[in-house]
Structure 1
Amino acid sequence: MAISTSLFGKGDSKVVGDATVGLTCPQPEVKDVVDEVACDIHGSYVLKSQNEPFRDVVIKLLRGKSDGKLKKAEICAAAEAAHTEVTNTEYTRVMSELYVSKGSYWYFRSGGGSARAIGSTE
C-alpha cells in the first residue's frame, strides 16, 4: 500500500491515512516496505532513483560521506567516473531535492527540509 501511494502527488489525504495505518504494523515490516522506495542515508531516508543515473551517483557518494558535505567538483568527478552525463538542469534539480547549498558546500537536507551535516546534533 505504501509503495503504490508513494506514486501519487503530495497533499492526498488518503496517503496520510494509509501512512497512519502503516504505523500500527510491526517495525520490521514497515522498514521492509520503506526500503523498497527509499534508502537510508545515515538515519534519514531519501527516495530511491527511478532510473536516474545521476541521482544514483549522488546517493552513493552521500552514503560514503560521514559528514554529508559535498563539493560540486567531487560530485561531477563521481558522475564522470560512473560514465554518467549530467545537464545543469538535472544537476540543479537532484541537488536541490537532496541538499541545501551553503557557501561552497552542499549539505544534506534533513527530513524537515533544513540543512544539517550528517552526524551533527542540530
Structure 2
Amino acid sequence: MEEGGVQAIDRLIEQFIDSREAIENFLKLINALQKTGILPLLVGIVNNLDNNLTFLAEQNAMLIRNVNVIYGVLSGKEEARDVSLTELIKQLNDPDVKRGLYLLLKILKAIGNASKEV
C-alpha cells in the first residue's frame, strides 16, 4: 500500500477513536429503533419515498380543494337557496352528502367529547 493510503487509513482510525462515544450512542439508537419496530418502518418509508410523497401530495391537494369549497360556502360565494324538505331528503341519497354528513357527525362527536373533558 502506498504511503498516502496508509496515512489516510491512520486518519480514519484516529477519527473513529475520537468519535467512539458518538458511535456508541448511534449504535444504541439504532438498536433501540430496531427493538421497537421503528427502524423497519423508517426503512419502509425511505424505500417507498416516491409513493409516499405522491400519496401525501394527493391528500394535500384534496384537503385544499375541500377547504376551498368550505370557504366558498361560508363566505357567501355559494348562494344558498330555499329548498324543500323533500329536496333535502333526496340529497341524503347522494354518496357525497352521506360521506359529508358522516364526517360532520364525527367532528361533532369529537367536539362533544372534548367539551366534557374540560
Q: Settle same-fold status: TM greater than 0.5.
A: no
- Higher share of residues assigned strand: 1
**Which of the two has higher C-alpha Rg?**
2
Q: Which has the higher contact order (CA 8 A, sep 6+)?
A: 1
TM-score, structure 1 as length reference: 0.26
- Higher share of residues assigned helix: 2
